[in-house]
Amino acid sequence: MKNAGIISVGTEIMRGKIDDTNSTFIARWLKDCGIKLKFRLSVEDEINDIVSAIKYIEECDLIILTGGLGPTKDDLTREALSKFLNKKLVFQENEWEKLKYFFNKYIKIPIADSNKQQVELIEGGEFLRNDNGTAPGMFCNVNNKIFILLPGPPKENQPMIKNYLFPKLKESGFITGDIYTRVFRLYNIGESTVADFFKDFNEEIEIGYYFTQTGWVEIHLSKFITTSDDLDKIQPIIKKAENILTDNKVFFTEDKDLSQLVLELLIKNNQTISFAESITGGNISGEFVKNPGSSKALLGSIVSYSNESKQKLLCVSEESLLKFGAVSEEVVKEMVIGLKKTIGSDICVSISGIAGPDGGTEQKPVGLVYFGFMFGDKLIVKKEIISGVRSRIIVRCINYVYVEILKWLNSK
């Protein structure tokens, strides 16, 4: 088994100003790649300290350094590695042209001469492209020992690891397999509840739970595999995870947006859809049209807030609005029937609710939402009380609508 060491470079780390999350991320990634992590070190932005750290772990097959690749005087990682390897740093004219173009186009400030050090390459090394910043990474294979330099910011180094370092390590034969990952998206459920379902799931696979800002929980099952046999062995484990979710009546999907899954099924079944949105202000439709080809299924939408517009555009009766209020079972029912009359799609959806923070009462609190669905001629009205702040309530309404439609389409 190959082994590795990580050195995180930065005075900010040594003084406790920032947490060394790079090492944690890389440690997990190495594990996923089947590489044993032997050392995790941190050093200041001091050239001699960086060299000492490399010397300390020089027995490792793979040595990864993060941070200190910027344009300033205290960015010394490149220089330290060149000193350790006793190889020159060579200025790369073509990379400099690319960097100048990047500054001109995206940063819109004149490039400084100090940036030149970012395009100096250690003799025999290769750059690793940085799609999210100015400092390229570096890959040096010296007698089958690999040295990697990565920029400090996680948003720069994580995509670099995935998109450029991993393929490079595979290409050079250092990694002889692949990371298989299966993602489940779970809706209307908390991360801890999910973790609880899996407390007795002790399989030979990495499991991670992630709560996304967009309102769902993701389960990632991943394993480093080297043969098709390995892949076959994983399948029963994936099935077991799926069964846990099904047994606990959890709604889950593959790693795709709900609206995309809905669109795919609508197109497959040759069906159309429309929305009458109150609380979500057009965001359900907005989500739908993010998907290319959405006009094949979406006939139209009505965003209706005032009572007058509900009457005019959706034929809601004044009597119901006065008697039950705009946020009521009766009104969403009339909204969806009105939508069916006006637009006539196969599936019609209406929604009305109180997103807050104002406007709630004891009988109708913030978070109260009514949903109306017409699947063909079948009318269904649902009521939910959704907790959270305004933005979260709106996101959960959108997810709720798509989950209900998906459940219906899947049951056909």
Instruction: Compose the 351-390 pattern: x for residues touching ligand ATP by CB under 6 A, - for all others.
Output: ----------------------------------------
Q: Which of 44, 49, 75, 277 binds ligand ATP (CB under 6 A)?
A: 75
Tell me if 69 contacts ligand ATP by CB under 6 A: yes
Distance CA 33, CA 2 (A): 10
Instruction: Compose the 167-186 pattern: x for residues touching ligand ATP by CB under 6 A, - for all others.
Output: --------------------
- Site stretch for ligand ATP (CB under 6 A), options 63-71, 185-193, 259-267, 392-400: 63-71
Any bridge partners for residue 138, and if so which? Answer: 127, 149
Number of neighbouring beta carbons within 10 Å of residue 144: 9
Instruction: Compose the 125-144 pattern: x for residues touching ligand ATP by CB under 6 A, - for all others.
Output: --------x-x---------
Which parts of 47-152 fold into alpha helices (H)? 47-56, 77-85, 93-102
Nearer Cβ to ligand ATP (83/392):
83
The enclosing H or E element of 370 equals strand 368-375
- 76-115 residues in contact with ligand ATP (CB under 6 A) are none
Taking the complex as a whole, how short is the minimal distance between the CB of residue 158 and ligand ATP, in angstroms? 10
Encoding tokens for residue 240?
Answer: 């077991």
Any bridge partners for residue 90, and if so which? Answer: 121
Q: Which of 38, 87, 89, 153 binds ligand ATP (CB under 6 A)?
A: 153
Could you give phi then psi for residue 45, rounded to 5 degrees?
-75, 65
| 119-122-126 Cα angle (round to 5) | 75
The SS3 assignment for 318 reads helix
For residue 227, the 8-state DSSP code is S
Taking the complex as a whole, how short is the minimal distance between the CB of residue 26 and ligand ATP, in angstroms? 9
* CB-based contact 138:68 (threshold 8 Å): no
Q: Which of 5, 125, 152, 338 binds ligand ATP (CB under 6 A)?
A: 152
Nearer Cβ to ligand ATP (13/276):
13
The tally of CA atoms less than 13 A away on the side-chain side of residue 238 is 16
Q: Is the bond leading into 153 cis (omega within 30 degrees of zero)?
A: no
- 2-41 residues in contact with ligand ATP (CB under 6 A) are 8, 10, 12-13, 18, 20-22
Q: Which of 151, 338, 367, 372 binds ligand ATP (CB under 6 A)?
A: 151
Nearer Cβ to ligand ATP (99/348):
99
Which residue type occupies 54?
I
Rule CB under 6 A: which residues touch ligand ATP? 8, 10, 12-13, 18, 20-22, 66-70, 75, 133, 135, 151-154
